[in-house]
Amino acid sequence: MKSFFLALLKSRAGLFGFVLVLVFVLAALLAPYLGLPVPTRSNLVARMAAPTWTGLFSPGAHPLGTDELGRDILSRIVHGSRVTLTIATAAVVLGGIVGTLLGIVAGYYRGMVDRVLMRIVDIQLALPLMLLALLVIAALGPSTTNLVVVLALTSWLRYARIIRGQVLALREREFVLSAHAIGAGTWRIMIKHLLPNVLTPALVVATLELARIIIMDAALSFLGLGVQPPNPSWGRMLADGRVYISTAWWIVTFPGVAILLTVLSVNLLGDWLRDYFDPKLRTMR
C-alpha cells in the first residue's frame, strides 16, 4: 500500500486522475452531509440564478447557479454523481467479469465455443449499441437495475474480443505447456495462469468502458430513458439545460464539465494503473 502511494506521487497524470476520482467518489458518498441545498427543491424566485462569482443576477448563494426551476446546480451535480457513478461502476464490473471470462473460454477452447461466442459478438456489434439499449429499456422500463444490465450488455463484448485475442496468443506459450506438465487442469490454467496475464488489458478496457458508459448513461438520461425525474442525473441536466444555452449557459455547462472531468480522471488513473500492475515496468521504479 505504501509503495502504491509512493509510485503514485511520481506520476503527475496518475496523481491528478487519482485525486479527481477520489474527490468525485467522496462527494458522491458524502453528498447528504455536505450541507448542500436539497437538489430537488425548486425556488421560482431564484430561477436561472447565475453562479455567484460571475457578479450577475444571483439571489441566494449558488456557487454554480440554478436551473430553470431554481434548483441548485452544484447540489444536483453532486447528487447526480451518486446515481451515475453507481450505475457506471456496476455496469463496468458486471460487463468486465462476464466479458473477460467468456473471452478466456473462447480463446482457450477455440473451435465451436469460440465461433458461437464471437458470432454473437459480431451480431451485437453490427447493431448500434445505443439502439439496442433503447430497445431493451423501452421494453423493460427504466429502473436502475435495468440500466446496469443494459449497459453491461453493451460492454461485455469489448472485453470478450480483446481478451480472446490475447488468450489465443497466450495459450501457445510454453508456460501453458509447463502448467499442463505440473498437472494443472483446464480451469486451473484458465483462472490461475491465463487470467493474471489478461488482467492488464482487461483493466485498460475497463477504464475506456467506464468513460464510455458514463457518456452512454448520460445519453440515455438525455433521451429520458435513464434516471427518472425529479432525481438529478447529468445527462438529464444536459437535456433540460440545452434550450437555455444562450441565456443561462451555466445550466448546461457544469453538468457537461462534470462528465468531462470524470471521464478524463478515470482514463488518467486507468493509464497509470496499467503501468503499475505490469510487473515488467515494476522494477524500473
Q: Binding to another protein (CB under 8 A): which residues in 256-285?
A: 279-280, 282-283
* CA 125, 157, 228, 221 torsion-angle sign: negative
For residue 34, give the DSSP letter.
S
According to CB under 8 A, which one of 94, 188, 240, 275 is a site residue for another protein? 188
- Tell which one of 10, 192, 242, 285 touches another protein (CB under 8 A): 192
The sign of the dihedral angle between the CA atoms of 179, 184, 185, 188 is negative
Torsion sign over Cα 86, 87, 92, 93: positive
Among 43, 180, 231, 249, binds another protein (CB under 8 A): 180
Identity of the amino acid at 108: Y
Q: Which cell is 29 given?
A: 458518498
Nearer to another protein, 200 or 233 (CB): 200
CA distance 29 to 82: 7
Nearer to another protein, 98 or 184 (CB): 184
At closest approach, how far in Å is the CB of 283 from another protein? 6
- Of 177, 243, 245, 260, which lies in the binding site for another protein, with binding defined by CB under 8 A? 177
CA 182, CA 201: separation in Å to the nearest integer?
Answer: 27
187 binds another protein (CB under 8 A): no
Q: Which residue in the set 41, 115, 173, 285 belongs to the binding site for another protein (CB under 8 A)?
A: 173
Stretch that binds another protein, among 33-41, 67-75, 196-204, 242-250 (CB under 8 A): 196-204
By the rule CB under 8 A, 184 interacts with another protein:
yes
CA dist 64 and 174 (Å) reads 59
Cis peptide bond upstream of 279, omega within 30: no
Q: Quickly tell me which residue has 460487463 as its cell.
A: 95
Q: Which residues bind another protein (CB under 8 A)?
A: 173-175, 177-185, 188, 192-193, 196-197, 199-200, 279-280, 282-283
